[in-house]
């Protein structure tokens, strides 16, 4: 990627550590079950983390997720913030866990996503209190090919991806392609690859690029990182660009 230029950082939601939530309760963790479940000391309540899903026993990164969770919460002062729905169908408490890290508050659920050992697990984004934080965390993990997202670390030419697109779906990839044309859409901009067999494109949110000039982009080699998705057959595979860190190009 010689001569690659990365988009400058633009204005986003501040991702610095939040203050401790007022409704959070101090607790102690007696046992870490896995990457997203713990047992509390004293009450023996089982707590399932909200917004994330870590690998089950026997799956790749199960041990890593469990180890990271243990390092974050076991033997430390932990604060528990209950979700809107207090319990799941199994009777487990549904919550966010907070710890102090280097003098600031760290949201454990978010940190698991950021380290690439958890997937985003949200059914109703509008009802998820920390959805934007979680989305940014998992997207950065995908860009950096951390943990679960590290299967395809090197950039892939679009031609390689289109030889067997199913192989790459739901994986984090960096796709190199030549930009063809740009269309404005209700939900942002669609930048289509030149000569794509299946209509590969980027869905660029307006927060990332308020005004995407098609003439400027056309003909450039673009590098886009993120999860490869294909939701509607007629629309083709795409990467949703939520952060400027996901894009680069050769000048």
Positions marked catalytic: 48, 56, 92
Q: Which residue, chain included where needed, has tokens 């949110």?
A: 205
Per-position DSSP letters for 181-233, written without gaps between them: EEEEETTEEEEEETT-SS--EEEE-TTT-SS--HHHHTT-EEEEEEEEE--SG
φ, ψ (nearest 5 deg) of residue 45: -65, 140
Q: What long-range pairs does 232-240 form, CB within 8 A, spacing at least 24?
A: 235/199, 236/196, 236/198, 236/199, 236/200, 236/201, 237/161, 237/165, 237/169, 237/198, 237/199, 237/200, 238/190, 238/200, 238/201, 238/202, 238/203, 239/173, 239/175, 239/202, 239/203, 240/202, 240/203, 240/205
Tell me whether residue 199 is exposed, middle or buried, using C-beta atoms within 10 angstroms of its C-beta: 0 to 12, 13 to 18, 19 or more.
middle
β-strand pairing of 78-87 with 25-27: antiparallel
Rounded CA separation 28/76 (Å) = 7
């Amino acid at each position: 990627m010689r001569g690659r230029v990365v988009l400058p950082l633009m204005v986003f939601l501040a991702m610095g550590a939040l203050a401790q939530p007022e409704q959070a309760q101090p607790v102690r963790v007696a046992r870490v079950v896995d990457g997203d479940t713990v047992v509390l000391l004293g009450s023996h309540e089982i707590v399932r983390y909200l917004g994330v899903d870590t690998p089950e026993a026997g799956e790749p990164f199960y041990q890593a997720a469990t180890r990271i969770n243990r390092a974050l919460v076991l033997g430390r002062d932990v604060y528990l913030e209950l979700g809107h729905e207090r319990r799941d169908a199994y009777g487990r408490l549904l919550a966010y866990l907070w710890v102090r890290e280097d003098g600031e508050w760290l949201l454990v659920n978010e940190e698991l996503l950021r380290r690439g050992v958890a997937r985003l697990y949200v059914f109703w984004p509008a009802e998820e209190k920390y959805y934007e934080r979680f989305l940014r965390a998992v997207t950065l993990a995908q860009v950096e090919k951390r943990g679960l997202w590290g299967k395809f670390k090197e950039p892939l030419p679009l031609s390689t991806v289109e030889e067997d697109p199913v192989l790459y779906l739901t994986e984090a990839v960096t796709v190199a392609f030549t930009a063809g044309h740009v269309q404005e859409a209700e939900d942002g901009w669609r930048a289509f690859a030149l000569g794509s067999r299946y209509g590969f494109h980027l869905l660029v949110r307006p927060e990332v690029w308020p005004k995407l000039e098609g003439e400027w982009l056309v003909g450039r080699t673009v590098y886009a990182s993120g999860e490869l998705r294909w939701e509607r057959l007629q629309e083709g595979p795409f990467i949703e660009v939520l952060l400027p860190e996901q894009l680069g190009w050769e000048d």
